[in-house]
A and B are shown apart, each in its own frame.
Chain A
Amino acid sequence: MTSSLMQLKNVTMKFGGVTALSEVTFDVKKQEILGLIGPNGAGKTTVFNVITGVYQITSGEIIFDGKSLSGMKRYKITKRGVARTFQNIRLWGDMTALENVMTATDTHKKSGLVSGLFGFPVSRREEKRDKARAQELLDFIGIGEYADRLAKNLPYGVQRRLEIARAMGAEPKLLLLDEPAAGFNPAEKVELAATIRKIRDAGYTVLLIEHDMSLVMRVSDRVVVLDFGQKIADDSPRKVQDDPRVIEAYLGVPEDAS
């Protein structure tokens, strides 16, 4: 339970003159829900971007499951066991919900283009299995009834949930959720919190970016706080809430602007 799945060691990310992350160090432990919070522009999404290989870090190291991720191709990082959702929804709108998830489940497929062309049994078997798995994930997230709808025509809340199902389709060990509750009403947030706990209980590790404090504090086992690219706290939700530096960081900026 307490062994670590991922370690960020002194991770620095500079964009020209802007230092988005500065010497950030923290651990993600197996099967925990780790909250990642901070004011707007603190560098939370950038953490996801450097883990998933969107950006190459300026210095430092990211170890996932015992191996460094630096220089690894983005799809290979996903294959190794990290999948994410996007803060601004990036589904494939012209595909159905089911196809969106299936495209991600393809990550671990053995059969490729040639066996698909000739309809080899392995390809047909995998196709059937992946379809069942994708439907299972949609049901798990609670949007099974939307399987055959085009992603772009889905209601906003369903799209947000589909982002999660799609990421889970890649069978990650670590699931990165970037503000999954953005735009949700309180009832939907409560429901989502339950879903996130359910995901963890199914064996996943979750790194959760969220602006809604009560949601983060309710579901997280531990919370890391970023401010201006620096880690200012890393503790249990209760302790983080009382941390003067955290209070200052949050009082220093306008209330939840997103």
Chain B
Amino acid sequence: MINLRDKGAEIWERQGRLGRVGIALGGLAIAAALPFMGGTILNTPIADYESVLVYPIAMYVLMAIGLNIVIGKSGLLDLGYVAFFAIGAYTMGLLGTKTDLNTWEILPIGIAMAMFSGIILGVPALKLRGDYLAIITLGFGEIVRIVALNLGALGRSEGIINIPTPPAIFGIEYRFDSHRIYYWTLLVLILFAIWMVRRLSVRRAGRAWESIRQDEDAAELLGVPTFKYKVWAFVLGASVGGAAGVFYASKTLFIAPDNFTLQISILILACVVFGGMGNIWGVILGAVILGYLPDRIRFISDARLLVFGLVLVIMMNLRPDGLLPRKKREKAIVKKDAL
């Protein structure tokens, strides 16, 4: 099979500074232009194309980037990622309907709430490893949903309605049916998340996570404060999930516990695994494909989970590292030496 990852990396490494800026801007322009492609082959026959761009696609991408910090970077299997999405969404729902705060003011609060719950869950759970961690996080995801289902203040199964849309910012109006505005805003959030992950990956934190993922005991014995960095991974992942949740609630105007089932955790996990754990571009590609296809092809939409399950099984057999696997290559300098 062709190695897309290495092809891409090769093209990237051959560019000078100008070429790289060009590629980045080009990619961004394409992403930003997607809402105008509704009339083309990209159109989704099942749902409104522009709203599909917002949810699931952009929302999945954002969450997949967040979950990738936890699973891909530090190798911690989190099966309850939806919890942070829910906490962000309910923070928006509650504060948006009960106070005068607007979406932009609630966004940092929602992120903080998600991060805080990341600590609450992470500190006890991250003492465990592997399967045990997976089970605890799975439970946490369900607990958050069940609390929302049973707490009167959160509207029980009715959820919260009439959540306000974001107020105009920089002269941009957010009408609930102007999907492309939401999409572009999400694009900004996604860019910010990419910036954060890339920035962290090349420095101390990235090395610490990488060493933990590969051999946690060796990491600890060579002076890496593994627990601290695992909690950080969890908390940063939670912050991205929380941001997604706030924005989701402010877009759909209505949230209920049914929006935050285990299924979401699994779908986002599928995006990460399908795209390529640990490689941010792979994860984005995975989320775009898995977010888009069900609304493009009716058959998949009807049997979404079945198809996703099949895709994962096939992928695990053919390409266990995902579409774009993490860095496996050595720098070009060494290649030259080898010739």
Q: Is the CB of B203 within 8 A of A127?
A: yes
Whether A104 lies near B199 (C-beta < 8 A) is no
Q: Could you tell me if A54 and B221 are in contact, using CB atoms closer than 8 angstroms?
A: yes
B-side contacts of A112, CB under 8 Å: 204-205
B-side interface residues, number (CB < 8 Å): 31
- In the complex, what residues of B have CB within 8 A of residue A68's CB? none
Question: How far, in angstroms, from A102 to B226 measured CA to CA in the complex?
Answer: 15
A123 sits at the interface (CB 8 A) = yes
> Which residue of chain A has the shortest Cβ distance to B220 in the bound complex?
A74
In the complex formed, the residue of B with least CB distance to A166 is B222
Cα–Cα, bound, A123→B225 (Å): 17
Q: Does B331 contact A (CB under 8 A)?
A: yes
Which segment of A76-84, A136-144, A231-239 sits at the interface?
Answer: A76-84
Q: Is the CB of A117 within 8 A of B196?
A: yes
Residue-wise, chain B 203-231 has the 8 Å CB interface mask toward A (1 for contact) of 11101101100110111111111100100
A residues within 8 A CB of B328?
A: 94, 150
- For residue A214, CB closer than 8 A to chain B, the reply is no
Assess the A148–B221 pair: CB atoms within 8 A: no
Interface string of A122-144 (1 = CB under 8 A from B): 01000100000000000000000
**Contact yes or no, B222 A104, CB < 8 A:** yes
Complex Cα distance, B196 from A116, in Å, reads 10
Residue of B nearest to A167 (CB): B222
- Give A74's nearest chain B residue, CB to CB: B220
Among the 9-residue stretches A17-25, A85-93, A195-203, A219-227, the one with 4 or more Cβ atoms under 8 Å from chain B is A85-93
Whether A95 touches B214, Cβ cut-off 8 Å, given contacts A84-B221, A103-B222, A148-B333, is yes
Chain B residues whose CB sits within 8 angstroms of the CB of A103 once the complex forms = 207-208, 210-211, 219, 222, 224
Asked whether B215 lies within 8 Å of A95 as measured between CB atoms, the reply is no
Contact across chains for A116 and B223 when beta carbons are under 8 A apart: no
Q: Which residue of B lies closest to A130 (CB)?
A: B204
Q: If A86-B218, A103-B222, A107-B223 touch, does A96 touch B330 (CB 8 Å cutoff)?
A: yes
Contact A117 B208, CB 8 Å, known A75-B223, A83-B223: no
Q: Are B200 and A75 in contact (CB under 8 A)?
A: no
Asked whether A95 lies within 8 Å of B211 as measured between CB atoms, the reply is yes
Q: Inside 8 A of A106's CB, which chain B residues have their CB?
A: 204, 207-208, 223-224
Kindly state the separation between the CA atoms of A106 and B210 in the bound complex, as whole angstroms: 13
If the complex has contacts A92-B211, A93-B214, are A104 and B200 also in contact, measured as CB distance less than 8 A? no
- Cβ of A205 under 8 Å from chain B: no
State the main secondary structure of chain B at its contact with A: helix
Residues from chain B with Cβ under 8 Å of A91 in the complex: 218
> What residues of A have a CB within 8 angstroms of the CB of B24 in the complex?
none
Distance of B182 from chain A, by nearest CB (Å): 27
**Which chain B residues border A94 with CB–CB below 8 Å?**
210, 214, 326-328
Closest A residue to B327 by beta carbon equals A94
Hey, which chain A residues are within 8 Å of B208, CB to CB? 103, 106
The CB with the most chain B CB atoms within 10 A, among A73, A92, A109, A111, is that of A92
How far does the Cβ of B71 sit from chain A's closest Cβ, in whole Å? 16
**What is the bound-complex CA distance between A216 and B226, given in angstroms?**
35
Residues of B within 8 A of A93 (CB): 214
Known A90-B215, A116-B205; contact A95-B210, beta-carbon cutoff 8 A: yes
In chain B, positions 307-339 with a C-beta closer than 8 Å to chain A are: 326-328, 330-331, 333-334
CB within 8 Å for A102 and B215 given contacts A107-B223, A116-B199, A148-B330: no
For B232, the chain A residues whose CB sits under 8 A away are 113
B224 lies within 8 A of A148 (CB): no
Kindly state the separation between the CA atoms of A22 and B175 in the bound complex, as whole angstroms: 76
Enumerate chain A residues within 8 angstroms of B211, measured Cβ to Cβ.
92, 95, 103
In the assembled complex, the CB of A156 is this many whole angstroms from the nearest CB of chain B, namely: 18
Q: A121: shortest Cβ distance to chain B, in Å?
A: 13
Q: Which residues of A contact B331 (CB under 8 A)?
A: 96, 148
A170→B225 CA distance, assembly (Å): 13
Select from chain A the residue with minimum beta-carbon distance to B225. A75
Flag if A123 contacts B330 (CB, 8 Å).
no
Check A153 for interface membership: any CB of B closer than 8 A: yes
Q: A95-B207, A113-B232, A149-B334 are in contact. Are A75 and B220 (CB under 8 A)?
A: yes
Q: Is A52 interfacial (CB-CB < 8 Å)?
A: yes
Q: 16 A-B contacts, Cβ less than 8 Å apart? A: A54-B221, A79-B223, A93-B214, A94-B327, A99-B210, A103-B208, A106-B224, A107-B223, A107-B224, A109-B204, A113-B229, A116-B203, A116-B204, A116-B205, A148-B333, A169-B222
A residues contacting B by CB (< 8 A) are 52-54, 73-75, 78-79, 83-84, 86, 90-96, 99, 102-104, 106-109, 111-113, 116-117, 119, 123, 127, 148-150, 153, 166-167, 169-170
Which 10 pairs of residues, A with B, have the shortest CB-CB distance?
A: A107-B223, A78-B223, A116-B203, A92-B214, A103-B207, A90-B218, A113-B205, A104-B222, A148-B331, A74-B220
6 more A-B contacts (CB under 8 A) besides A78-B221, A96-B331, A116-B205? A78-B222, A103-B207, A103-B208, A103-B210, A106-B207, A116-B199
